[in-house]
Structure 1
Amino acid sequence: MVIAVAVVAVTVALAGDVHAPLGDEDPGLITSLGATLLRLSARLAGAVCLGSLVFAAFCTPSAPTGTVTADGYAALRTAGRAAVCWAGAAVLLVPFSAADVAGRPVARMAEPAVLWGLVDALEEPKAWVFVLFCAVFVAVGARWTLSWRPSVLLLVVAAFGVLAPVVVGHAAVGVWHDVATNAMLWHAVAAALWLGTLVALLLHVRRGGARQDLAIRRYHRLSLGCLVILGGSGVISGLIGARPAGLLSTGYGLLIIVKALVLVGLAAIVVVLRRRWLRPSLADDRRPVARLLLIEVVVLGLAAGVSAALSRLVLPAFFSDPASIMETLIGYELTAAPDLASMVLGWRLNLVVGVGALAALVLYLFGARRLRRRGDRWPVGRTVAWIGGCLVVLVATSSGLGRFAPGAFSIHMATHMTLNMLAPVLLVLGGPITLALRALPAAGEGRPPGPREWLVSLSHSRAARLLLHPVTASVVFIGSLFGLYFTGLFGEAMPEHWAHQLMTVHFLVSGYVFYWLVIGVDRPPRPLPHLARLGMLFAAMPFHAFFGVLLMSRPTLIGEMYYRSLDVGWVPDLLADQHLGGAIAWVAGEVPMVLVLIALLVQWSRQDEQDSRRHDRREGAARGDGNNLDSYNAMLAALADRRD
């Protein structure tokens, strides 16, 4: 912590007035230094909170369906105390960040009208208000939680709190901000997970907690993954922020290099020192382990200080590559109209959803391969469906279709329908949960729970039952169409990149949940009879058609301010393009529904045949004439062959 504070203080002192180049006033040293140190404090507290929750849920042998262990409870208390500190930093950051961004001394924020006016106008203070709510929720929840499932819920809330300041930070503005923001989302989560879980593990070792071998082994795997993510995302965000030319000629670039060297040092600790110090039996002396963990804490603290210092400096790309209005809104230019070549070859990889689709594809194939090596059979059709669904998601978000989607409502609607109506149909037919339950090894009696037990517990939780209730799934699937496009929410969301990503995830998840209940291979918490599934499908079909008709006949523009600010030259008539989007929504909504109806009827027919054969076998066994029935069927088959 001391090293991180020193790095921040030196950087603020050497940087001087960073507001003048942007045309703003200097808020003064107290405001500048205070805001930067508070951001560092919030980052560290949020990391400890998130990491402690991860440690309590996944690094201690807590039963997924019961209460946490004593060590898990201790980690929860650590998370609660860190959340209190996190909330305190967030409270102070509301006026400090408003003053720092606006270029005003923080003393002027004492007037409520001035403060709330700036909070309403600026994005970063809003983010800290959101962080405050997340931190308070976690602090209260960690104080009263004793079970495993609620601790996972707190973990999810804490992760959202960690991400909130990232999506409104430096990476969210300028040229290539779409790629930079996506990279920083991975970067922030990986850094918080590593540092926070490390602190929780160090406290666990020092108090002599049980099953330290399990905790260290799981932490080691987690930190290796975080190291890879930090390295890749750091390179991407650093090159976008500084550009290659600014790495050696600017203070920002030099700090990027320092941070890279710190990551190299962490890699050396992970690969070399851990292998040497953790080789003795874990039942032996713990002092080498504690020393190693303490070294990692110091190095990660230095990295956190460098990151906080980087957030203080202006990106060199702001001056070397100034952004146009279109680049400010979406991160890149769309000057030429889309054609076949640009749609096929104009790829721009979505580092969140696109990379997630590729990761899901690889994990699925790995699971199917494990089953084959074990001698078990996995249907080829399910594998083909999953591959197709992942590729559809990748194409919809990262190909020319995804690249041009922000520029025209019609292309956006094509992407929406692809992610909401086509990709989920293929994905649910892949049966990923069934595959995971068959491929993942069971913990066994006397062994701590693992990924298979975690998956079973989450899939049968109350939250899963609520999410997968037919009414909830149908309301979210249908209602989000009207709620997004006919309430003004779409126009507010389009200028924000994080809102683009949230919309994409929502389209995909809401469609997946709905089609899971209708034609999914995986067994939901409340299995529905085929007649109820057919009713869900028939109930949804008219609403999609009605939505498309409303778009086709709407006389006013949806998201008018956004599209007029974007000023895409190849869309001369925005209203006509919106009507085209309505036609796409109508057709793209009805055709997949018909295909789903056919798939449902086929599944229904197969299930009836299986039930009939099972019923015949039971009756035959009860009468003791199973052999006679088999002989009778063989005789009928022989007569049929003679006739042919």
Structure 2
Amino acid sequence: MGADTKPSARLWVVLTAAVGVAVAVTLATVRAGGGTAVRIPGIPDAGAATAWGLPVARTVADTGAVATIGALLLVAVLLPGGKRLGEAQLRYLLWAAGAAALWAVGSAAALVFTLSDLFARPVGEMLSPDVVADFVVNDAQGRSYAMVVAVAALLATVCVGIGTARWARWALVVALLGVLPPAFTGHSSAAANHDSAVVSLALHLIGVTIWVGGLLFLLVAAARREEAAVDAARRFSPLAGWALIAVAASGIVNAAVRLPGFGDVFTSRYGLMVVAKAVALILLGAFGWWHRRRTVPALRSGSRRAFVRLAAGELVVMAAAVGLAVGLSRTPAPAVPDAALSPAEEVLGFAMPPPLGDFPWTPLFTEWRFDPLFAFGTAAAAVLYLAGVRTLRARGDTWPVGRTISWLLGLVVTVLATMSGLATYGKVLFSVHMGQHMVLAMTVPILLVLGAPATLALRALPSAPKGGLPGPREVLLKLLHSRYVRVVSHPVVASVLFIGSAFAVYYSSLFETLMSSHLGHVVMLVHFLGVGLLFFWVIIGIDPGPRRPPYMGKLFVLILTMPFHSWFSISLMSSTDLIGAGWWNTLDRPWVTYPLDDQYNAGAIAWATGDIPVLITTIILAVQWVRSDTREARRIDRSIDRGDENDPLAAYNAYLASLHARDRRQAAPAASSAPAATPAANRQPEES
């Protein structure tokens, strides 16, 4: 049974009601939260049009963003298909294009209203092209809104012409990136501990858009009686669960950053709105639990009514939560006493830490700072790994304890490198930053690759039924043997990325740029960890891949790469130019007298900490080599004992036997044609 040619009237009623609820809740929360200030005579005011128009424009933009991501998620991930998109997928791409157009219009309106709000001038006076262009070029909020408008307009244009699954997935990635720029210029970016606030808000936005957008178009697909709606619901269920966890955890972190204390949760308007969002989240979690228990099984059996009704109610609650979020962004957080930030605190997000002094180890282990990305990432990695081990144990399979210990220890070291004093002083001292870099690039990867997470996943994940949709296991296999992984896992490419990226980051303006941006700093740390994982996976990795170099080749790559690392370290120690001088001068560190001495220490740390991991890697590689030869010898012995015809040694012996038999056959005719020997008694004496 195919899909209905047109959405039902009830579906349009539900979608219209959801948008209406979002707008109504937005206006109500803006009013209740004090987002529309009372006009005071003599003080410039943007006017009522901006006060009410800005939240409405943001609600429209958010609705368009959610719908765009939901439609692309349905096309690229949830609906089954091959490399070429099917008729249903192409149809929902048109929905994505229309939603992206709405996203672009709402974001453009929000840009103009934001300009009016910042300059406290009526919106009509802000419509000059020169004024808007100056706002876009010179203001961070203007640039962020312009980026969103550009992304939305691009998607509205290209979604119409997409015909393959690969391009649909790229469009989804672009759409997800398009919702992030406002996170780095809003209230969270101006708060204390803004690193945590910004990262948590970015995770929050990603989780919300995937969750709400996916449910929206899952409801559309079910209401239109799409044949693949059941498969889409099965794929969306675990995705929605992870999105719920991301939204809840990131929301808690963001609220903790914005609220001065726990008492302000119930005594301030901002705190009460946070409570309202938490109640909505709990209610949505209950909806999801009911979906998993009742409506999804009913949908699989062919009954769609219960699923559609519950999803419609869930969508309305989600719309109210989106309205609360927009209203919350317009509500001022409770004032913090003595909230004036120092120049260093404005750029760091936290107060300048004390000097290390004579006992440097103490502050490095006491100046902890929470980082949502690495905290949630390592927690999820630990839970998933342990769940995989439990799955194997439950069915009677074994998994080496050493691999589990190695994986968990690698995650613990990651937490130490990204949330302890190494992270705090890594933004203040180049030497500590280099230690953080070396730990993430050369210590953590060794521990993580020895944990063999891909091998565990391939053994623990169930295989998709024959002829059915590919599951996570099939997707992982396809990724491990993809052309991209084949290219980057080449030993030469992995070595160039591992060593070359250090020269590219530190010996260009890139380092100063990345250190000056919250997002850039996170990207730099993730990059160091990523190239380290890639390099050591090639050298000592256990997980399968598109190529497995011989052990002699691995040892050669390791020996060839390390001199370049030493060269990098020596160049830092001998350089007379201060790397990232603009960033260090901005901090105005009163207890750093000679920055070049700190840079010399950074080079020394890079050199010293590089030798130990190399030695450990060489020992691990030698042990793996010996074990591989031992396994191969045992395999050959077993083949010989079984008389296996495919055994290479047996084949070689058979080949030698065939040569011997051939020589004997050739010698036999020659012997038969020779004259008979004369008896010794009848021989005539030879003449002298």
Residue equivalent to 2:201 = 184
Q: Distance in 2 between matches of 1:601 and 1:210?
A: 55
Distance 1:337 1:290, change over 3 A: same
1:639 counterpart residue number: none
Task: Return the offset for 1:384.
Answer: 2.6
Letter in 2 for 1:286: R
Which of residues 300, 314, 338 in structure 1 aligns to 2:318?
Answer: 300
The alignment's TM-score, normalised by the length of structure 1, stands at: 0.86
Range with bigger deviation, 151-160 or 440-449: 151-160
Distance 1:359 1:543 in 2: 35
Q: Give 2:449's aligned residue.
A: 428
Aligned-partner Cα distance in 1 for 2:426–2:544: 35
Opposite residue 260 of structure 1, the aligned amino acid is A
Structure 1 residue corresponding to 2:240, chosen from 200, 207, 223: 223
- In the TM superposition, what are the counterparts of 1:386-535 in structure 2 within 5 Å? 386-535=407-556
Match of 2:176 in 1: 159
Once the two structures are TM-superposed, the CA of residue 352 in structure 1 deviates from its matched residue by 0.6
* Cα separation, 1, equivalents of 2:565 and 2:594: 25
Going from structure 1 to structure 2, the CA distance change for 1:519 and 1:493 (only over 3 Å counts) comes to same
Q: In the alignment, residue 25 of structure 2 is paired with which amino acid? A: V
CA contact (8 A) 1:108 1:114 kept: no
Q: Which moved more, 1:73-82 or 1:582-591?
A: 73-82
Secondary structure of 1:267's partner? helix
Residues 299 and 307, structure 2, Cα contact 8 Å, conserved in 1: no
Residues 510-542 of structure 1: CA deviation (Å, up to 9, x unaligned) = 111122222211122233333443343334323
Contact 1:329 1:495 in 2 (8 A): yes
Q: Are residue 594 (structure 1) and residue 615 (structure 2) matched?
A: yes
Structure possessing the higher radius of gyration over alpha carbons: 2
Establish whether residue 378 from structure 1 lines up as the match of residue 399 from structure 2: yes
**In the TM superposition, what whole-angstrom CA distance separates every residue of 1:611-644 from its partner, at most 9, and x where no partner exists?**
4555566676349998xx9xxxxxxxxxxxxxxx
Q: Please name the residue that 2:273 is paired with.
A: 255
TM-score scaled by structure 2? 0.81
Q: Is the 8 A contact 2:435 2:602 kept in 1?
A: yes
2:148–2:178 Cα contact (<8 Å) kept: yes
Q: Secondary structure at the match of 2:372?
A: coil
After TM superposition, the structure 1 stretch with the greater mean CA deviation from structure 2, 196-205 or 517-526, is 517-526
**Cα RMSD over matched residues?**
3.3
**Structure 2 equivalent of residue 40 of structure 1:** 59
Could you tell me how far apart the structure 1 residues matched to 2:294 and 2:458 are? 35
Candidates 179, 182, 192, aligned match of 1:175? 192
8 Å CA contact 2:495–2:561 kept in 1: the answer is yes
Q: Which residue of 2 aligns with 1:287?
A: 305
| Structure 2 counterpart of 1:550, from 537, 550, 571 | 571
Single out whichever of 216-225 and 424-433 deviates more from structure 2. Answer: 216-225
Q: Tell me what 2:561 maps to.
A: 540
3-state SS of paired residue (1:301): helix
Shift of 1:549: 1.8
Q: Aligned pair count?
A: 624
Distance apart, 1:104 and its partner CA = 5.1
- 1:98 and 1:594 map into 2 onto residues whose CA distance is 58
Counterpart residue number, 2:285: 267
Residue 319 (structure 1) shift = 6.4
Q: What residue is the counterpart of 2:353 in the other structure? A: 335
Alignment-derived partner of residue 10 in structure 2 = none
Kindly report which structure 2 residues correspond to 1:317-332, keeping only aligned pairs within 5 A, or say none.
Answer: 317=335, 321-332=339-350
Is 1:234 equivalent to 2:237 in the alignment?
A: no
Distance in 2 of aligned mates of 1:291 and 1:463:
43
Q: What letter is aligned with 2:644? A: A
Partners of 1:515 and 1:343 lie apart in 2 by 27
The 1:346–1:335 alpha-carbon spacing in structure 2 relative to 1, beyond 3 Å, is closer
CA distance in 1, matches of 2:299, 2:513: 57
Q: Which residue, out of 50, 57, 73, partners 2:69?
A: 50
Secondary structure of the corresponding residue to residue 409 of structure 2: helix
Q: Percent identity?
A: 36
The structure-2 alpha-carbon separation of the partners of 1:279 and 1:604, relative to structure 1 and needing over 3 Å to count, comes to closer
Residue equivalent to 1:194: 211
Cα distance change, pair 345–97 in 1 and its aligned pair in 2 (3 A): same
The yes-or-no answer on 1:578 pairing with 2:599 is yes
Worse-matched range after superposition: 171-180 or 144-153: 144-153
8 Å CA contact retained: 1:180, 1:236? yes
Contiguous gaps of at least 5 residues in structure 2: 1-18, 654-688
Larger mean CA deviation between 480-489 and 566-575 belongs to: 566-575
Q: Secondary structure at the match of 1:563?
A: helix
CA distance in 2, matches of 1:101, 1:544: 49
